[in-house]
Structures are given as structure tokens and as C-alpha cells.
Amino acid sequence: METNKIALITGATSGIGEATSKELAQLGYNTILTGRRSTRLNKLKQEIETTYQTEVLTLCFDIQDQQQTTYALNSIPTHWRNIDVLINNAGLAYGAEKIDEDAWDKWAQMLDTNVKGLLFLSKEVIKWMVQKKQGHIVNISSIAGINVYEGGSIYCASKHAVNAITKGMRIDLLKHNIKVTSVSPGMVETEFSLVRYDGNRDKANQVYRGITPLSAIDVAEAIVFVVSRPAHVNINDILIMPTQQADAYNTYRK
Ligand code: NDP
Ligand code: 8X3
């Protein structure tokens, strides 16, 4: 049991973030959970506190907004600032427009969430980790941070940026004893495709047609492995794929 350890998980209201919040609580972590949907945050807090008897602090804000993010982080009581693990998970793909099609608002939302949001939030947490000379940042990237596919240029760009930021963080934070890891999944069945296709369930279901995708728990278990290594061991990167998916271009559908 990791009693008294604290993890902050962004995007905890759904999918990978929600599953990771529960897995870490099961290990004994007290958790700070973030997202925009307050009803879901409150429900999750109640479920975790009841099931795992750990403490949960919820913060409801839009990570795209630097002022909201900084305000929310600064509202964290002092005894919660001793954050051991930060899971930068909040993110989305929005649409599948090609580069010559008009989708500026969607592109902005992806870049503002996946890249700028991750930076706004990390900046605050890193200050506290540097002070205590210890911490672990896990950035949720994607196979889209390695491959680029049709209709995915901006989402892929955002995850390529996450990979560059991860490498940069690892170098810059070396002297502060802060571990930095990226976890890059292939297809995971969450609300991700529903969000990408604006709530169109048929289109979302097509993504997983004929394959068994990863579940959010599969990814959460990889995250748990990463954060539970001994102090002198860091896992730099994990690429985790469904067995039926080799990369972003090659999927074997039954
Ligand atoms: P979900 O849509 O299920 O969850 C996304 C989470 O991000 C939600 O909790 C959502 O919370 C939060 N979020 C999105 N936008 C914002 C925002 N502006 N401010 C605050 N929180 C926000 O998707 P997944 O669990 O699948 O995605 C989690 C991460 O995993 C993402 O970074 C995604 O890119 C990555 N990923 C997903 C894969 C997949 O196939 N599913 C594969 C590879 C990587 P709320 O709406 O309440 O704000
Ligand atoms: C999500 C995986 O292949 O839809 O990051 O880009 S993919």
C-alpha cells in the first residue's frame, strides 16, 4: 500500500483517467481528480472514498484556460500539494478533417487541451515537486505521437508535441530527481471516439469494428506498473497496443 502518497490525475471524469484514479486509490493513494464535469467528479469522489477509504479532492475547471487552471491549482490546500505522481491525461481528438478542410475551432481545442493545458497544469505542479526534490510525471501520449494518419494531422501533432515535451521535461527535471514517463496507447475503447465524432455513436463504434480494443483498465494497469517501480528506476516510455493493432495503419479486423 502506498499510504499517504498523493496523485493528481487530469481528465478523471471518464476513460483512462477514471480507471487510473481507481487503480491508484486501490493502491492507497489519496487522489486529486480534475475535469470539467462536476457531477461526474462528485460521483467518482464518493465511489472512491467509500470503496477504497482514501481521500479525494476534486477540482472542476477547463484545462484550456490558463487562468482557470492556475486558480484551481492554487486553491489546493497546502497539505495536498505534496504531490508524488502527476498523470497528465486530459485530452481529446476532435474531428477527422483533412488539412485542407475548415476545422480551425477543433484544431484549436485539441492544441489548447492536449498541449497548452498539459503545460499550464504541469508548470504549477512542477514548482511543488522541485521544492521537495521528488516526483513522477506521467504524460499520456498515443500511437498518434509516433504515426501520422489521414485526417489526424492536428491530433497527431498534439501528441508529437507531448512526446517532445516529455523528453524535454525528463532532461530539465533530472537534477530535481523527478521522473518523467510517457504512456502511449493504441485504440482504447472509452468516450474518446464519441467525443471525436461529436456524439455520433455509429461512427464511434466503427472505430472498434472487428477488433478487441484496449480497455481503460489495461492502460491504467500499465500506469500503475510505471509509478510503482523502485526509486532508482524510471520507465521512459510505454507503447501499449491491442493485439490486433500493429500501428496506426495496420489493424487486423475479424
Ligand atoms: P475520454 O474522452 O474518455 O476522457 C477524456 C478526459 O479528458 C475526460 O475526463 C475529460 O473530462 C478530460 N478533458 C477533455 N478536455 C478537457 C478540458 N478542456 N479540460 C479538462 N479536462 C478535459 O478519453 P480517454 O480516456 O480515451 O482519453 C484520455 C487520454 O488518452 C487523452 O489524452 C487521449 O488523447 C489519450 N489516448 C486515448 C486513446 C484512445 O483510443 N481512447 C489512445 C491513445 C491516447 P471533462 O469532459 O469532464 O472535462
Ligand atoms: C488515440 C489513438 O489511433 O485514434 O490516440 O489516434 S488514434
- pLDDT at residue 2, as a whole number: 66
Tell how far the Cα of 177 is from the centroid of ligand 2, in angstroms: 31
| Residues 55-73, mean pLDDT to the nearest whole number | 98
Whether ligand 2 lies within 6 angstroms of the CB of 248 is answered as yes
Distance CA 242, CA 245 (A): 5
Half-sphere exposure (Cβ direction) of 12: Cα atoms closer than 13 Å: 32
Confidence check: pLDDT of 142 > 90: yes
Work out the mean pLDDT of the chain and round it to a whole number: 98
Whether ligand 1 lies within 6 angstroms of the CB of 60 is answered as no
- pLDDT at residue 93, as a whole number: 98
Confidence check: pLDDT of 164 > 70: yes
Tell how far the Cα of 8 is from the centroid of ligand 2, in angstroms: 24
Helix (H) or strand (E) holding 86: strand 85-88
- pLDDT at residue 47, as a whole number: 98
Tell how far the Cα of 159 is from the centroid of ligand 2, in angstroms: 10
Distance CA 228, CA 219 (A): 14
Distance CA 180, CA 172 (A): 10
pTM recorded for the entire structure: 0.98
Which pLDDT tens digit goes with each residue over 180-238?
Answer: 999 999 999 999 999 999 999 999 999 999 999 999 999 999 999 999 999 999 999 99
Within 8 A by CB and 6+ apart from 67, the residues are none
Domain 6-240: assigned CATH number? 3.40.50.720
The catalytic residue positions are 155, 159
